[in-house]
Structure 1
Amino acid sequence: MATHPDTLRARLEDRADLLEATRLRYRALRGLLNAFFWRDRLRANLELLREVALAQPEVDATLAAVGRRAAAEGWPRELAPVKLLEEVRHLREEVARAVERRLGPGEPVDSLSAAMLQLEEQVLATGPLLGRRAWGRAVEILPRNLPELRAACAAAEVFERLFKRPTPEGALPFNVAEADELCRALPLADAALRALWERLGRFDEEGRVRVFLQRRVRRAPVRVPRSGPELMLHAAFWHDVSRARLGELLEARLSPVVAREEEVPELLVWLAAGEPSPEARLVARGSMSEGRAGLFELAAELTRLSQARPTGVWNEELAWARLGAAAVRAKDETGPDVDRVREALQLFIRLRGQARTPARLFSPARAALPPSEVAGDMKDLPGLAQAARSVARPGP
C-alpha cells in the first residue's frame, strides 16, 4: 500500500524542516560561490556561510539517517519527502565542489563544514579589493552567529539584568541564586571576549578596526544591538560594568583583604548568603585555605562593626563572637593581607569603637591613645579581636 506524503513528512518529524531550510541555504550559497565577484558577494553574506558550516554535521547525519530509512521502507521516488532528500543531496554535492574550487590547491580538509570555515578565513584574510570603512570591516569579521559572540551576549544579558536594575543603598544587587549565575557568566564572558578580540587581531592586520571598536567599548549602549560589532560592544560594556561594580562591592565589604580572581565566585555566593544571615560561614575549598577563609570572615565582620554598631545587646554579642571565631580561624595565616587586617584592628582599638560616630570617619591622628591593656606590639589576631571587644564595651 502506498504511503501518503503527509504521513512520510510526519514520520520525519523536525528533520523535514531541517532539510527544507538547508535546501534554501544551499541554493543561496551556491549562487554566491558561482558569482563572478564571488569574494565580494560572499564577504557580504558571511553569516550565511557560517550558518551552513555550523549546521553541516547535523545535516549530514540527517541525510544519512533519512536515506537509510527510505531505502529500508521502500519510499516511492515520486513522493515529495523523497524528492526533497534527493535535491538536498544534489545541492550538497554542488556546494562542496564550489567550496573546493574556491579554496584552490592546498591541504585537504576533513569535512565540508571545516572547508567552509577555512574558506571564511581565506576571504577575511584577503580583505576587500578597494578597501572598506572600519565599521563595514568589523561587520564582516564579526558575524552575528559566531559562537563566541553568542556566549558573550548570553553573559551580558546576566550582567545587564543584575546591574541595571535599581538597588537599595548598601544592599547587594543579587541573591544567592543570582550570584551563582553571575559566577558562571564571568568566566564565560572573559573567554568569549578574549576570543573575539583575538579574531579581530587575526583578520585586521593594520589594527584599524580593533582601535575603532576599543574607542567605543565604554560608551553606554543607546539602542538595541543588531550587527555583530554592536553585539560585541554591548557585551563588552556590561562586562566592564560588572567587573567595576564587583570590585567596588568586594572592597567595600572585605577591605583591607584583597580578593584574588579565583576566589571571587566563592566570595560572591558567601556574601549573598550572608546578606539575610550574617552567621553564614565561608567554606574553604579549592585554592582558598581555612585560614584565608577565616581572614575574609574577620575582615567582613570588622567592616560591619566599623560602619555601625549592631542593634540590641544580643546582636552585638553575636557579632563579637563571630569576629573572635574568625580571628581564631585565621590565626595561622600569613602575608600582606594579614598585616593589613592587623593594622585595621589596631586602628579600631585606637579609635575606641564605643564612639557613636562610625570609626571610618576618624583618622589615626585624631584618635585617643590606646588603653594600657592593649598597648604594645600585639600581633596575634585573636588577641587583637579580644582587645577590640574590650575597648568597644560601653563606658560607665
Structure 2
Amino acid sequence: MATPPDTLRARLEERADLLEATRLRYRALEKLLRAFFWKDRVRANLELLREVALSQPQVDATLESVARRAAAEGWPKGSEPLVLLAEVERLRNAVTWAVERRLIAKKKPALLGEALLLLEEEVLDAGPLLGRRLWAQAVEMLPRNLPELRAACAAAEVLERIFKRPVPEGSLPFDAAEADEVRRALPVADTALETLWARLDRFDATGRVRAFLDKRARRAPVRPPRSGPELLLHASFWHGLARARLKTLMEARLSPVAVREEEWPDLLGWLVARHSSAEARLAASEVLSEGRAGLLEMAAELAALSHARPVGPWNEEAAWVRLWAAAQRARAETGPDLELLRESLRLFIRLRGQGQTPARLFSPAREPLSGLPSGHVGGEPDDLPGLVQRAREAAGRARTGQTGL
C-alpha cells in the first residue's frame, strides 16, 4: 500500500526546507550564469553564489539520502517529495554545466561547491567591466556571508559590549567572566580580520579599495552595519579600540615591564583576581615562565607602591612582603625588563636617601636621575631580592611581625 504524499513530506522533516531553498537558489544562480553580462550579474550577487557553494555538501548528502530512502520504501513517482527531488537534481546539473562553461581554469574541480568558489575568484580577479565606485567594489569583494566576516562580527560584538561602557577611575573594564570572553574573542578577531584584509589585497589590484576602507576603519560606527564593508569596518573599529584599551591598561598596571601581546590572555584573569585581592598570584604557563611571572608580579606591586593615595584597603608592609616574594621568583630572569625594574628600585633608594617622597615614585614620566650607575648604588646589591630589601629599609618604616625581609 502506497504511503500518502503528505506523510512522505513529513518524513523528510527539515530536509524538505533545505531542498526547497536550494531549488530557489539554483534557479536564481542559473539565470545569472546564462545572462549576457553574467560576470557583472554574478559580481553583484556573490552572496547567493557563496550560499550555494557553502551548502552544497549538505545538499548532495541530502539528495543521496532521500533517493536511497525513496527506493527502499517504494515512494510513488508522482509524490511531492520525489517531484521536488527530481527538480533539484535537474537544476543542480544545469548549474554544474553552466559553471563549467564559465570557468576559465583548465583543471576544473569535480565538486560543484569547489567550482563555485573558484568561479568567485575568477570573477573578482577579472574586475568590473566598467569603472565602478570604490564602495561598490568593496561590497562585491566582501559578501556578508563570508565565514570570516561572521567570525569577526561575533568577536566584535563581545568587544563592543565590554569596552563601550564608561569605567570608573581605578576600576577594570571587565569582570572575571568578561575577561574570559575577551581572551577568547581577541584571537578570533585577529585571525578573521587578517583574512578579510588579505582577501581585499588579493582582489584589489590597485589597492584603492583597501586604502579607502582602512582610512574609515578608525571612525566610530554611527549606524548598525548592513553591507559587508560596513561589517568589516564595525569589527575593525571595536577590535582596534579593545586592543588600545588593553594596551593602556597593561601599561598602567604593569609599568615599567613591557607586556607582550601573547601574554595578554594569561594576564587578564590575573588582573581581575588581583583587583579583588592583592594576594592573587600569577601562575606560570607555556607563555609565562616562572621568572617572567615574578617580574610581572613585581611590576604590579611597584605600580601599587607608586600611588601617593592607594585606592581601597591597602597594607604597605604586606605590599613589601609580596614584592620581595615576587623578586625571589624573578631572581633568575634576565633581559631589559629586569634592568628597568632594577632602575626603579635604585631610583627609590636614591630618592629616599635624599629624604624626598615624590607623589609617584615609579612614574614613567619622571626624568631618570643622572649619574645612576648600572651596578651598585650606595653599596646596595644587584640581585632583585637584595634591592627590595634595601628599598624597604630606605622607606624608613618599622616592620612588625614580618620575617624574610
Which TM-score band (shorter chain)?
over 0.9
CA contact (8 A) 2:124 2:141 kept: yes
Aligned to 1:157: 157
TM-fit CA distance, 1:381: 0.6
TM-fit CA distance, 1:7: 2.4
TM-fit CA distance, 1:4: 2.8
Q: Cα–Cα, structure 1 residues 245 and 15, in superposed 2: closer, same or farther, change >3 Å?
A: same
TM-fit CA distance, 1:310: 5.7
Alpha-carbon distance in structure 1 between the residues aligned to 2:312 and 2:103: 77
Aligned to 2:388: 385
Alignment of 1:13-52 (within 5 A): 13-52=13-52
Moved more, 216-225 or 9-18: 9-18
Alpha-carbon distance in structure 2 between the residues aligned to 1:314 and 1:28: 69
Alpha-carbon distance in structure 2 between the residues aligned to 1:312 and 1:231: 42
What residue identity is the alignment partner of 2:148? E
TM-fit CA distance, 1:390: 2.1
CA contact (8 A) 2:380 2:386 kept: no
What residue identity is the alignment partner of 1:120? E
Aligned to 2:107: 107
Aligned to 1:200: 200
Aligned to 1:227: 227
Aligned to 2:378: 375
Alpha-carbon distance in structure 2 between the residues aligned to 1:87 and 1:210: 42
CA contact (8 A) 2:306 2:359 kept: no
Moved more, 68-77 or 5-14: 5-14
Alpha-carbon distance in structure 2 between the residues aligned to 1:249 and 1:36: 57
Alignment of 1:324-363 (within 5 A): 324-352=324-352, 355=357, 357-360=359-362, 363=366
TM-fit CA distance, 1:365: 8.0
Q: Cα–Cα, structure 1 residues 329 and 2, in superposed 2: closer, same or farther, change >3 Å?
A: same
Q: Cα–Cα, structure 1 residues 59 and 375, in superposed 2: closer, same or farther, change >3 Å?
A: same
TM-fit CA distance, 1:354: 9.3
Alpha-carbon distance in structure 2 between the residues aligned to 1:145 and 1:138: 14
Moved more, 42-51 or 375-384: 375-384
Alpha-carbon distance in structure 1 between the residues aligned to 2:312 and 2:224: 50
TM-fit CA distance, 1:314: 8.0
Q: Cα–Cα, structure 1 residues 119 and 313, in superposed 2: closer, same or farther, change >3 Å?
A: closer
What residue identity is the alignment partner of 1:35? A
2:87 is aligned with 1:87: yes
Q: Cα–Cα, structure 1 residues 6 and 307, in superposed 2: closer, same or farther, change >3 Å?
A: farther
Alpha-carbon distance in structure 1 between the residues aligned to 2:66 and 2:178: 44
Q: Cα–Cα, structure 1 residues 247 and 85, in superposed 2: closer, same or farther, change >3 Å?
A: same
CA contact (8 A) 2:344 2:362 kept: no
CA contact (8 A) 1:310 1:316 kept: no
Percent identical among aligned pairs is 66
Q: Cα–Cα, structure 1 residues 189 and 317, in superposed 2: closer, same or farther, change >3 Å?
A: same
Give the total of aligned pairs. Answer: 391
TM-fit CA distance, 1:23: 0.8
Q: Cα–Cα, structure 1 residues 89 and 17, in superposed 2: closer, same or farther, change >3 Å?
A: same
Moved more, 120-129 or 10-19: 10-19
CA contact (8 A) 2:63 2:85 kept: yes
CA contact (8 A) 2:163 2:173 kept: yes
What residue identity is the alignment partner of 2:160? E
**TM-score, normalising length: structure 2:** 0.91
Alpha-carbon distance in structure 2 between the residues aligned to 1:360 and 1:154: 40
Q: Cα–Cα, structure 1 residues 142 and 68, in superposed 2: closer, same or farther, change >3 Å?
A: same
Structure 1 residue matching 2:315: 3-state secondary structure: helix
Alpha-carbon distance in structure 2 between the residues aligned to 1:118 and 1:366: 64
User: Any stretches of 5+ residues in structure 1 without a counterpart?
Assistant: none
Aligned to 1:278: 278
CA contact (8 A) 1:351 1:364 kept: no
Alignment of 1:108-147 (within 5 A): 108-147=108-147
CA contact (8 A) 1:354 1:394 kept: no
CA contact (8 A) 2:331 2:383 kept: yes
Q: Please, what is the CA RMSD of the aligned residues?
A: 2.4
Aligned to 1:243: 243
TM-fit CA distance, 1:3: 2.1
Alpha-carbon distance in structure 1 between the residues aligned to 2:4 and 2:347: 86
Alpha-carbon distance in structure 2 between the residues aligned to 1:186 and 1:22: 35
